[in-house]
Amino acid sequence: MRSVGHLRAPSLSILIVQTILFLVDCASSCTGSQHEDDFGRAACLKMDQALLLIHNELNLEGFVVSWRSDQCFQCLYQVLIDVNATNDVSTAVDTRHSLTLQLNGTSRKKELCRIHYRFSEYGNYSLWVKLNLSESTNVTCSIVINQNPGYSYLPILIALLMYLAIFCIYALGSFIFRLGAVQNWLCKKMNPIETDRLINSELGSPNRADLCNHEIHVAWNSSSQRLRSLDTFRGLALIIMVFVNYGGGGYWFFKHQSWNGLTLADLVFPWFVFIMGASIYLSLNSMLRKGTTRWKLFWKVLWRSIQLFLIGLFIINENYCRYPLSWNELRIMGVLQRLSLTYLMVSALELLFAKPTLDVPPRSRICFLFQDLISFWPQWGLILFLEAVWLCLTLLLPVPGCPVGYLGPGGIGDFGKFPNCTGGAAGYIDRLVIGEAHIYQHPSSNVIYKTTIPYDPEGILGTINSVVIAFLGLQVGKVLVYYKNQHRQVLVSLFTWGVFMGVVSAILTKCSTNEGFIPVNKNLWSISYVTTLSCFAFFLLVLIYFLVDVKKLWSGAPFYYPGMNSILIYVGHEVFKNYFPFKWKMQNTKSHGEHLTQNLLATSIWVLISYILYRKRIFWKI
């Protein structure tokens, strides 16, 4: 952090003065002074907020303004501000989702009016509260835009155009470089003609230009034999994960959903688990074919799982960057901890029943979706048993003070009836087994639902469904081995799996966010979350496999490189996330543009690091 300060030393004193003046102005404008102007009040706004001026024209009657977000399902109204009978007031309002504002009189506690509106970030609005001239008992509420808000999504558009331009330049350069005439010209420039003539005449060797073309052709063909789509898929999930972990430019849709539903940030971890399952099958099947014993493989799997768990426990722990680790407050579960347990359980299940698949399977096999279910029924039986355990614990386990089968967020959800029931059985099991001090203290549910108790999205019960989605990924590995070099059959099988998972999700959720039998929920890792994300994963893998391994229209770059070094990139971005150049002190913390620049630059640096490591053939395997 200090290095950034030294780089800007000539303007340091100016920045200090400007910062002090801003803080003084902000402090004075937020005190509720009667002489503050709109600009001063707007200066105190944070990201995802707008300024609302409330004008009371009710003839000496005050009221209370309460609000509720559309994203908050069956929530209590929260008090926004009290408005007295004589003065106009201003307040900040949330802009992430549409709001419902409710006005209740302070004297008779009667609802005066209700208005639904979607505010825009950093906008300036007025809420006029007036008596209806035709009927003196009625009150009208209307919202007027005083100052148009800025276009807060412009930085995303600019970033997309910049990355698109870089991609186009890269694609054009790759196309030109692959042209035969260009390759011959480059080889001739790198190998002088006279030297080439002498070598040919004395040794009878082939022309160097032809030799160069031959080497390039062989290198391209040899690299294309590797199944790059899996590494590309893994790298895509990893890079999105890095970007959202760094902040996602401060945009709400790059953060985890508060409870039911999905954002972009909710997609990547299950995808990573999904593709890990595919890699498990390919790896174990290959080593079994080579004659490695099951016990030897199991001890390798166990040791790797222990390493992953310890890295997550002691290196990537949220307390580490804040203060020295305390055993009394150490978070036991986490992303790598869940990965380690999932990897261990799925690998052990596969080693228990698996048989090495032949290199050249018979051509007469029928649809693999049904053949897979029939041939591997013991594994499917155990997976269905685990899912039955999840359903029974989630829907039938008695939780003190909570209704049986509760799947809600607690807090102000469900009209505030169950404030301490966050996560139902999942939260109760974690608090009972791990202890409240050893689980995640700041869940995403407290953003909108105002929950007050800790809840861990990587808890014990959700690990069961993490195993399920990894096992579904395992089927990808089986399909790829089963239909080796039969691209059409691979695409049909993966697409069929995607459709099947989509149908199951539609049934479980009734195609709604909150009204289904089991809603899609990342915090719970609900079964509908597993089937929905598996559906997306199958379809996305079909697309990547078609472009990368079938048509070879895309090499998988740049996602292929971090996909080859996923553990190193994940651990590295977590350990060094607060160090320059991945993070620096921003001049304007309220700017999406500066946040987005910082987060995209940090993510791009890790892509560059992964590319350099790939070129150096450095891969961190545990």
Q: Exposed/middle/buried for 531, CB within 10 Å: 0-12, 13-18, 19+?
A: buried
3-state secondary structure of 112: strand
* Whole-number CA gyration radius for the chain: 29
3-state secondary structure of 140: strand
Cα(152)–Cα(270) distance, integer angstroms: 29
> Would you state the structure tokens that stand for residue 10, as one six-digit string?
């000539």
* Partner residues linked to 65 by β-bridges: 81, 103
**Burial call 204-220: b when 16+ CB within 10 Å, e when fewer:** eeebbbeebbeebeeee
Q: Comparing C-alpha atoms, which of 381, 248, 316, 338 is closest to residue 572? A: 316
3-state secondary structure of 100: strand
Residue 551's H or E segment, with its range, is none
Half-sphere exposure of 89 (CA within 13 A, CB side): 16
Q: How far is CA 268 from CA 236, 293, 359, 480, in A?
A: 8, 34, 32, 22
Cα(564)–Cα(456) distance, integer angstroms: 29
487 classed as catalytic: no
* Partner residues linked to 82 by β-bridges: 64
Cα(477)–Cα(318) distance, integer angstroms: 34
Q: Comparing C-alpha atoms, which of 361, 372, 357 is closest to residue 483? A: 361
* Partner residues linked to 99 by β-bridges: 69, 117
> Would you state the structure tokens that stand for residue 263, as one six-digit string?
């954002």
Q: How far is CA 128 from CA 21, 37, 93, 107, 565, in A?
A: 33, 18, 15, 20, 58
Cα(568)–Cα(571) distance, integer angstroms: 5
- Residue 70: phi, psi to the nearest 5? -65, -25
Single-letter residue type at 327: W
Cα(254)–Cα(244) distance, integer angstroms: 6
Cα(445)–Cα(451) distance, integer angstroms: 6
Catalytic residue among 35, 256, 438, 592: 256
A 10 A CB-CB count for 258 gives: 27
Q: Do 466 and 273 touch, CB atoms closer than 8 A?
A: yes
Q: Do 116 and 67 touch, CB atoms closer than 8 A?
A: no
Tokens 């070099």 locate to: 485
Half-sphere exposure of 321 (CA within 13 A, CB side): 10
Tokens 């008779």 locate to: 108
Cα(368)–Cα(374) distance, integer angstroms: 9
Single-letter residue type at 358: L
Active site members: 256
